Structure 1
Amino acid sequence: MMKYSWKSRVYILISCLFFIALWQVSAIIIDNDIYIPRIQQVIKSIVEIVNEPDFFKIVLSSFYRTAISYILALGCSMILGVLSVVYPFFKYLLSPLNSFVKTIPTMVLVVLALVWFTKDSAPFVVGFAITFPILYEGVRNSIMQIDKKLIDMTEIYEVELIDKIKKIYFPVMKFYFMSIFVSTFSLTFKVVIAGEIHGQPKFGIGTHIQLEKVNFNVSGIFAWIIIIMFISLIFELINRFLQKKIYRWNK
């Protein structure tokens, strides 16, 4: 198993080196920075971006918007998910709204958010709107999978709703959120950046990507993409850590 793991890593490394080489060769052949910048130019742009005085403020601003959007979506999905199971009225009430948000393209939602809200609040709205339906349906499905005999027993013994939530619903929701936290948080992060690109708040990764686009600085755009990939990699490492925790709890 260990040998296979190391072999896989070697193959992945070779694949990465192949595409980096392909990128560099393509950049040399095309010889036009507006289309494909050379790797050294992108590295130079990364160093320049990281050395900017406001770099951490820019990244943290995007992270702050992502965190707020996610926390709001998480809280609302927990409350409405439980209510939709206990009171079916909420399920039918939210069904058309969820269908609308899931079918509308993200960019159209960004445009609507900019029409209805300010440029500073639009990324929050878009992040919430994209993440909430995923979390809500996950919460509802998780609760619906609880053994019906257990639910029937709570009704026989007239267990109060608040105790049901604490002892039965919440542990199930907690397990579900831990299993999909990184994937949904990463999605929110990307959507918030998309909102920033169009809304252009004062500080934000999306705002600076848009500035690079206006200045036709493609190496700067690639630099920000690599920075975003690095942040996403950190999320993935967190995800693996959480998955190991969940596995140990279930043993």
Structure 2
Amino acid sequence: MQKIVRRTIAAAAWIIIWQLVAMIIHNKILLAGPIDTVAALVSLSKTPSFWGSVWQTTGRILLGFFLGSVIGIILAYIAHEKSWVEDFLRPLVSALKSVPVASFVILLLIWFGSSNISIIICAMVVFPILYLNTLEGLKSTDVKLLEMAKVFRMPGGRRLRYIYLPQLSPFFKSAFKLAIGMSFKSGIAAEVIGQPLNTIGNGLYLSKIYLETADLFAWTIVVVLISFVCEKIITKVIDIL
């Protein structure tokens, strides 16, 4: 309860500071305050296009997140078992970690168009995060436990449940927390550049075109809330496993 109170006070303090700065600047184009932002959010939420954009963007980003996670985990297991696979994938993983998202977005726009670009970008961003964390977790697994499982002929499913998952759990938790935030950042950025219709990225771009700073902040709050909820759900699932 004390932690909740402290966090609530901190959040309220920043909101008050935000409102005071907005009042001092007194220019809604340069900086819209929290009151104007909430009003814009309420106004946007009354339109069908708002909810369509939220569902489309969220669905595509989560699909890309899922694909990148599955591919990263599977390839990490293969790389752990076959060292030549790890060596083969190392340049690709390094490139995906280092190359700016904008470069990939422009290239993918040329190849595939804008409709599903956020799915591909999210998968590309998530893959190296899950791959590297899973590989590190597998390498840190207690060798003695694996030898014991081999001696007692423990089935693969029980070995996964009682040896690998406990070892991988902290790696998965940190990886998924980072990956879900990066998914929304990169996915929205891809939409802003690619401009697929009825998406959050398109809404952000239109806010910039029409100098609607309150709408810009409102869309941003929506992204932060969706990312926060998804992170909490994923963390709870990992804790249950």
Check conservation: 1:84, 1:91, Cα contact below 8 A: yes
Cα displacement (A) at 1:16:
2.3
SS of structure 1 residue aligned to 2:48: coil
For residues 212-227 of structure 1, what are the structure 2 equivalents within 5 Å? 212-227=207-222
1:65 match: 60
**Does residue 168 in structure 1 map to residue 163 in structure 2?**
no
Match of 1:75 in 2: 70
Q: Secondary structure at the match of 2:202?
A: helix
Mapping 1:236-251, distance limit 5 Å: 236-239=231-234, 241-242=236-237, 245=240
Displacement, 1:108?
Answer: 3.0
Asked whether the equivalents of residues 29 and 211 of structure 2 are also in contact (C-alpha less than 8 Å), the reply is yes
Equivalent residue number for residue 227 of structure 2: 232
Letter in 2 for 1:238: I
Deviations 1:101-136 (A, max 9, x none): 111223333333323331112211210111000111
Distance in 2 (CA, whole Å) between partners of 1:50 and 1:177 is: 34
- Stretches of structure 2 lacking an aligned partner (at least 5 in a row): none
CA drift at 1:216: 1.0
Of 179, 185, 190, the residue aligned with 1:184 is: 179
TM-score (norm 1): 0.82
Are residues 170 and 59 of structure 1, via their aligned partners in 2, closer, same or farther at CA, if it must alter by over 3 Å?
A: farther
Q: Does 1:130 find its partner at 2:130?
A: no
Aligned counterpart for 1:48 among listed residues 20, 29, 43: 43
Q: Which position in structure 2 is the counterpart of 1:249? A: none
Counterpart in 2 of 1:204?
199
* Contact 1:186-1:235 at 8 Å conserved across structures: no
In structure 1, what residue type is equivalent to 2:12? Answer: L
Alignment-derived partner of residue 39 in structure 1: 34
User: CA contact under 8 A between 1:45 and 1:223: conserved in structure 2?
Assistant: yes
Counterpart CA distance in 2 for 1:156 and 1:233 is: 44
The answer for unaligned runs of 5 or more in structure 1 is: 247-251
Q: Cα gap change, 1:243/1:150 in structure 2, threshold over 3 Å: closer, same or farther? A: closer
Do the aligned partners of 2:191 and 2:199 also contact (CA within 8 Å) in 1?
yes
* Alpha carbons of structure 1 residues 170 and 140: separation in structure 2 relative to 1, 3 Å: farther
Bigger CA drift: 11-20 or 86-95?
11-20
Report the 3-state secondary structure (helix = DSSP H, G, I; strand = E; otherwise coil) of the residue aligned with 1:54: helix
What percentage of residue pairs aligned between the two structures are identical?
26
Residue matched to 1:18: 13
What CA deviation, in whole Å up to 9, does each residue of 1:84-106 have, x standing for no partner? 11111110110011111111223
- CA-based RMSD of the aligned residues comes to 2.7
Instruction: Report how many aligned residue pairs link the two structures.
Output: 237
Shift of 1:51: 0.8
CA distance in structure 2 between the partners assigned to 1:178 and 1:213 by the alignment: 35
* Pair 1:112 & 2:112 matched: no
| TM, length-normalised to structure 2 | 0.85
Using the alignment, how far apart are the partners of 1:202 and 1:37 within structure 2?
25
CA contact (8 A) 1:73 1:128 kept: yes
Shift of the alpha carbon at 1:167?
4.2
Distance in 1 between the 2:193 and 2:213 partners?
A: 18
Between 9-18 and 148-157, report the one with greater CA deviation: 148-157
